[in-house]
Chain A
Amino acid sequence: MTALHLHDRMFEVHPLDEHASESRLGRLDARAKLVGVLAFVVASALLTKPELVLASLAVAVTFAASSAIPLRHTLRLYLGALPFILLASLSLFLFVGLDNGVAMWARTSACVLALIVLASGTETFELFSGLRRLRVPAIITTLLMLTHKYIGLLTEELSRMTVARRARGFLGGRNLLDRYALKVISYTAGMVLVRSSERADRAYEGLKSRGFEKEMVGWRTKRIAAQETLFMASMLAASVVLLAVQMELVG
């Protein structure tokens, strides 16, 4: 692996939105998805009995499978989170025991899978807009929306610079310690930051020119339909059942 390959891998973009429209969840209101999934995540995080943790993982896997989001996409995102999941599970495995290590892996995986499906099955803007409609403070949702916009600008500038660099024959260094390649990559990073900052300024002026003050929310609000209520109720029911059984077993 050369310095360039490592750099490209680090900045590779996995657009979360790419499968949102084709997913079964895509048509549901973001508020219903947020309430349902977050309730499930909280319930899963509170489970301690290994069999119940595995049951919650089964629910998450079923949820992912029925969402119509491509398995490859879900796995790719899950693999991104896996090092952190393994770190937490391994420490429990080493210091407490196998059961606890496996339970930690299953618990975290259930939460991560559910959140991946939520994020991939919803347009990012809709997700943040849904949070705002659930009364999350405007400062937080607007910051999230602007961060999303600016990450887009940053990756766009980076991909332009990468293409320009390749067009001029730069194919990476011989190895990870190639000083020339590292120098080129550091210049690229500097240029990307400068150019993104200029574009961010222009985007901010674009917002100001259209009367933006502090809040970005969607224009049309729809009412929660029966299909959305059903989804939310199913997720809440699964969460309540898991917690009830847990309390029964522990009590």
Chain B
Amino acid sequence: MRCLEIHDVGFSYKDGTIALKGVSLGLEDGEKVAIIGPNGAGKSTLLHLVAGFRMPFSGEVIISGRRLDSDNADTLRRDLGLLFQDPDDQIFMPTVEEDVAFGPRNLKLDDIDGRVARGLRSTGIEELAKRKPHRLSYGMKKRVALAGTMAMDPRVLLLDEPTSGLDPRARKDLIKLLRSMDRGMLIATHDIEAAAEIVDRAIVLDVEIVMEGTMRDLVMAREALEKVGLEVPPISKFFGVLDAMGYQVENLPVSMDQAVAELTKVIEREGKHMHAHIHEHDHAKEADHAHEHSRGHKGQSEAD
């Protein structure tokens, strides 16, 4: 069943700048879709239209079978969980657990204790329950904001640039967390690699929809991406080079996990094997080790 439908939506700012033109998309229950686009493409505006903070000038938004308008926006928003780009914009209460309880209390939902516990558990921040949110790291604040949204048990999560401003570990953890969540998601992002790890399909937006498909479809259409100012991930470029060199790549990988799987296939198909060894890293001996290593290889190739 479709939990969200957007039909031919258009929106422009007060100064006349067109932000969105003829945008249509649908989201099935539990489906994860990325909206990919450069800065100013209208991604955040689209999320705000869906959340009912702005009303489209043309077209319509249908949430759980009901047409969104300014009168029912507060009611329909109960089905949506909006995660802002900056968590400081949506954290209000003095402790983490109070903040997670904020939404359920406002909506007068039942079992607030259980919801808070589940929200904290699902985002892996149970131990932060009594902490003050404003003293947490940016990555942890994002988790607190997500826990607060999850505690409201929304049908669809609307995530605005969820990975922006995160350090590599926090980014990786958040991607893993979002991937594991069994819930419909509409993710506005320009982080193509992160989107590839989380979503089922993606839409490239640049005021209007430029293309639509799986992440692999999008990466294969490199020229279309570059035309709207997006870069194909380096890992995809690297495999493109391998492909050009004669190592046939079945599926162009977009993320590191996909790259490892693809590389394994290439190596196995080529009838070769990977040899890896782990040893203690010693900077003092590093130069000598490298020198001997290269001499060994050189000798071997000469023998060949």
Residues on A facing B (Cβ under 8 Å): 123, 125-126, 149, 199, 202-203, 205-213, 216-220
Contacts and interface: CB of A to CB of B under 8 A. Distances in A.
Interface in B66-101: 74, 77-78, 80-82, 84, 86, 89-94, 97-98, 101
B94 A210 contact: no
Interface residues of B, number: 30
A224 to B, nearest CB: 19
A95 B78 CA distance: 63
B94 to A, nearest CB: 4
Nearest to A207: B92
A43 to B, nearest CB: 31
A209 to B, nearest CB: 4
A210 B154 CA distance: 11
A211 B51 contact: no
Contacts of B94: 123, 125-126, 218
B239 interface: no
Given A206-B84, A208-B77, A213 B89 contact: no
A56 B214 CA distance: 75
Contacts of A123: 94
B162 interface: no
A203 B152 CA distance: 18
17 contacts: A125-B93, A199-B89, A202-B89, A206-B84, A206-B91, A207-B92, A208-B77, A209-B53, A209-B77, A209-B81, A211-B106, A213-B106, A218-B98, A219-B93, A219-B98, A219-B102, A219-B112
A205 B103 CA distance: 13
Contacts of B90: 203, 206-207, 209-210
B86 A202 contact: yes
Contact of A208 (B74, B81, B97, B148): B74
A219 B97 contact: yes
B48 interface: yes
A217 B102 CA distance: 9
A216 B106 CA distance: 8
Contacts of A125: 93-94
Contacts of A209: 51, 53, 77, 80-82, 84, 90
B107 interface: yes
Instruction: Give the top 10 A-B pairs by smallest Cβ distance, nearest first.
Output: A206-B90, A211-B106, A210-B103, A219-B101, A211-B107, A209-B82, A202-B89, A125-B94, A206-B89, A219-B98
Contact of B152 (A207, A211, A216): A211
A139 to B, nearest CB: 16
Given A210-B106, A211-B106, A211-B152, A216 B92 contact: yes
Contacts of A199: 89
Contacts of A207: 90, 92
Name which of A125, A126, A206, A209 has the most chain B CB atoms within 10 A of its CB.
A209
Nearest to B151: A210
Contacts of A149: 92
A204 to B, nearest CB: 9
Interface centre among B51, B74, B90 (most CB of A within 10 A): B90
Contacts of B92: 149, 203, 206-207, 216
Contacts of B91: 206
A210 B48 contact: no
Contact of A202 (B51, B84, B116): B84
Contacts of A216: 92, 102
Nearest to B145: A206
Nearest to B54: A205
A206 B84 CA distance: 8
A123 B93 CA distance: 11
Given A126-B94, A205-B51, A207-B90, 13 more contacts: A203-B92, A205-B82, A206-B90, A207-B92, A208-B74, A209-B51, A210-B90, A210-B102, A210-B149, A211-B78, A213-B106, A219-B105, A220-B98
A174 to B, nearest CB: 37
